[in-house]
Amino acid sequence: MKISFQIILFFLMTMIACEKESKNEAYREISDVSHADSEGYLGDASCISCHDSEYETWQGSHHDKAMQIVSDSTVLGDFNDVKVTIDGVSYEFFKKAEGFMIKVKELDGSEAEFKLAYVFGITPLQQYIVDFPNGKKQVLRVTWDTLENKWFHQYAGDKITITDWLHWTRGAQNWNTMCAECHSTNLKKSYFVEKDSFHTTYSSINVSCESCHGPGKKHVQWANSNQKKGEMHMILGDDQKSQLNMCAPCHARRMKLTKNLIPGNLFENQYLIQNISSEYYHLDGQILEEDYVYGSFLQSKMHMQGIKCGDCHDVHSNKLKLEGNKLCLQCHVPEKYESKSHHFHEMNSESAQCINCHMTGRYYMGNDFRRDHSFRIPRPDQSVAYGTPNACNECHQDQSEEWASSWVEKWYGKERAPHFSDYLLLSHQNEISQEDRLKLDEFINDLNYPFIARSTVIGNLTFSGEDQIKSLLTALNDSSAVVRYHALMQFRSMAPQDRLAIAQKHLTDKAKLVRIGSAQLLIGFNGDGWSETDKLNLHKANEEFEYMLFANADFSTGRLQLGDYFMQNNDVRSAIKHYSKALEMDSLLFPVYTNLATAYSLNQNTEGAFETLNTWMDYQPDAGRPYYLRALLNFELGNNEIGVEDLKMAIELDPQDIRSMYNLATFYYQNKEFESALEEVRQALKIDPSNQDVKYLNALILKELGRIEEANAIIRELQSS
C-alpha cells in the first residue's frame, strides 16, 4: 500500500522581491547621526529658519524622541546598581566608564552583559537597544515604566525561551526589521538575504520634518529662489488622502510591498493593510491586538466623511487639539450630543465623555493605553449573540450583556442602524443560510461601507456558483485596491484557465498591490500563447512580486513565503533553504515544519523529513498533524505498522482529524480488514456527513461486506450531487 506524502503549502499574505543590494555609500553609518545630504535629505536645521514655530512644537514630542543616542540626559531608567528578576529572568542595571550596562541571566542559566546603544521612546515607557553581530540591533524585553518609575516586562507573565521568535534576541525584537523604518528618517534597512545581515542607515535618528514632508533639498531651493512659482516640492498633507499617505505607513499593521518607505507615495503602492482578521481584531472589528490605529480608522464613519488625523491631533506635537468632549464637539452639535438625552449619564462625569462610549481602549506593550479609532456605537446586542465586547459592560462589569442590551433598547428602541460589523460577524459563521449569503454578496460591493470591512468579508467567504462568482467579478472593479486584491486572491483555487484569464486583465492595474496579486495567480506560468505585450506585463508584475517577497525576507514568515514561492516554481532546493532559515529564525513557526518535511521528501531526503517532523513533535507534543504526516511517510517507505500507530496517535490527539481517519480506513480496506475500516469511516462521517471521499470509501467497504443495496444507494447519491 502506498499513500503519497502530500504537498501542503500554507498561503499566508504573500508578497516580496528580487534580491538587489542597493548602494549605501551615500548614507551614514547608524552610529553617525550627522545629517547626510542624500537623495535630497538635508536635516531639520534646513527647516528651522522658515518653520520655527512648527519646529518648536515638534521638539519634545514622541516623534522627536522616537530614538536617541544613550546619554545621561536621554536614559530614564534606573541604572544605579539595580537588580531585579522578572518572569524568571534576572537583570542587573549599572554604569561603567564605557556607558550604561545591563547583565541578563536567561531562563536557561546563560548570562551575558550588554552596553546600551540607543533609547527608544519616552512615555509611558522607554525601551533600550543593544548592538548584535551582522549589523543587527535588538530591543531588550525589560522596559522602563516612565509613569511608575519601575522595570517591567512586555508580555508580562510569559516565560519566553531563547528559541522563540518573541525572545528579545530574536526577530520580533529586532530593531532593523520591526522598528527602524518608523522611528528614523530616510531609513534604508539594507538586509542581505544570503548573509542574514543588515547594513541599516538613516539620515536623521528620529522622526523629523522630512519623515513626513519628504526630502527638503528641492523645497529649500524653491524657497530660496527669486520667483517662487511652480511646484513647492513639499508634501503638505492638506487633504485626507495626502495626510493619510503621510501617517498611515507608520500607524498601520501592514505588509511591505517595497524595501524602503518613500514619503508621499500611495499607501497601496507600498503596503498591504492587514484585514480585520480574528487574529488581530474581535470578530466585529474592535481592536484586539495592536493595529496602530489606521486599520481601525478605516472602519469609521469619520474616514468615510473625509476626516483626517490633523482634525483631532496636532501633527507636530502629537497632542490632542482640544481636551474632553470639546474635541468631538468641533463637528457634533453640542445641543444634541452634549446632553443627558443622548448619553443618559450624569453631565460632566466620566460616563458622559464621548470617548468612553465610542473609543474604548486596550493596553499594549505592557502599559500603553490606546483607544479604538473605529468610533463605533456600543452594541451589547452583538455581545449577547457573538461574545464581542461593548463599552457598556466595560464600565458595568457587574452586569450582564443582556442587561446592557435591554437598556439600549429602552433608550434608543429595538432597531439598530445598519453597520458593517453585522456583516463581519455573519461572515465568520460556519453555516450561512442562502438568504444571508446573498446579503454578504451584496455587501462586498456596497460602497456605502468601509473597504477594509468589505475586503475582509471577501477573504472570509468561499465563492462558487454563478451568482457568487458574479459578485466577485464586480469586486474586481472596485474603487479600492485592497478589495480588488482580495477578490483576486479568491481565484487561486479556481480552474487554471479561469485564473489565467482573470489575472491577465489585472496585470496592468494602476495599483502595485493588485499587479502583485495578479502575479500570485500566475506563479509557474511563463506566458505561453500570450502576446508579447502581455508577456511583458507578466514579467513586470513578477518582478514586483519577487521584490516584495525579498523585501520581507528578514521575517520568519517572509522566509516561509519565499519557501512556498520556490516550491510552487518547483525549485525544491531553494525552498528547503528558506524553510530552514525560517525555523532558525523562529522554531515555533509550526506551518514551516509541514512544508519543510514535504520539500525534503520531494528531494528524496527522508532522513531530513523524519528529523523535521520529530523536531516538530518535540516542540508541540499535543499536535496531531506531525503524526499524520509521519504516518504518510512511513507508508511510503513500507513501514506500515509504524504508519498505523502514527495515524492512531494523530486521531487521539485530534479527534476531529478526518484525514487520518480516512487514511487509516483506506489502509484497513486495502488489507481486507473491512470491519475496522468501516468503524473509522463511521467516525469520520459523524464529523463531516457530507464528505464525498469518505462516503465513496464507505460504499466500497459496504460492498466488500456484502451490503450491496446500501453501497449502491450511496453511489447513486454521489452521482446525483
pLDDT of residue 7: 32
Model pLDDT for residues 420-469, shown as the tens digit of each residue? 999 999 999 999 999 999 999 999 999 999 999 999 999 999 999 999 99
- pLDDT exceeds cutoff 90 at 74: yes
pLDDT at 181 (0 to 100): 97
Residues in contact with 147: Cβ distance below 8 Å, sequence separation at least 6, in sequence order: 123, 124, 367
> Which residues are bridge partners to 582 per DSSP?
none
- On the question of a cis peptide bond just before residue 124, with omega within 30 degrees of 0, the verdict is yes
Residue extents of the structural domains in the chain: 45-224
Radius of gyration of the CA atoms of the chain, in A: 29
The pTM assigned to this predicted structure is 0.90
What pLDDT sits at residue 270?
97
Written as one string, the DSSP assignment of 278-317 is TTTB-TTS-B-S--TTHHHHTTSHHHHTT--GGGTB-TTT
Mean pLDDT of the chain: 93
pLDDT above 60 (res 32): no
Region class of 628: left (phi > 0), else alpha (psi between -120 and 50), else beta: alpha
If you average pLDDT over residues 552-563, what whole number do you get?
97
**pLDDT above 70 for 306:** yes
Percent of the chain with pLDDT over 90: 91
Strand-pair partners of 320: 313
44-58 residue pLDDT tens? 999 999 999 999 999
By the 10 Å C-beta count (0-12 exposed, 13-18 middle, 19+ buried), 636 is classed as middle
Q: For residue 177, is pLDDT > 50?
A: yes
Least confident of 81-85, 250-254, 492-496: 492-496
pLDDT, tens digit (0-9, with 9 covering 90-100), for 572-591: 999 999 999 999 999 999 99
C-alpha distance across the termini of the chain, in Å: 30
**pLDDT at position 342:** 96
Grouping H, G, I as helix, E, B as strand and the rest as coil, residue 137 is strand
The per-residue pLDDT for 228 is 74
pLDDT at 172 over 50: yes
Q: With bands split at pLDDT 50, 70 and 90, how would you rate the model's confidence at 368?
A: very high
pLDDT tier at 24, thresholds 50, 70, 90:
very low
Please give the average per-residue pLDDT across 19-25, as a whole number.
Answer: 32
**Residue 284 pLDDT greater than 90, yes or no:** yes
Look at the alpha carbons of 199, 205, 210, 211 in this order and tell me if their dihedral is positive or negative.
positive
Q: What pLDDT, on the 0 to 100 scale, is given for residue 721?
A: 75
- Per residue in 86-140, pLDDT tens? 999 999 999 999 999 999 999 999 999 999 999 999 999 999 999 999 999 999 9
Q: pLDDT by residue (tens digit) across 650-685?
A: 999 999 999 999 999 999 999 999 999 999 999 999
Structure confidence at residue 20 as a pLDDT band (50, 70, 90):
very low
Confidence (pLDDT) at 230: 82
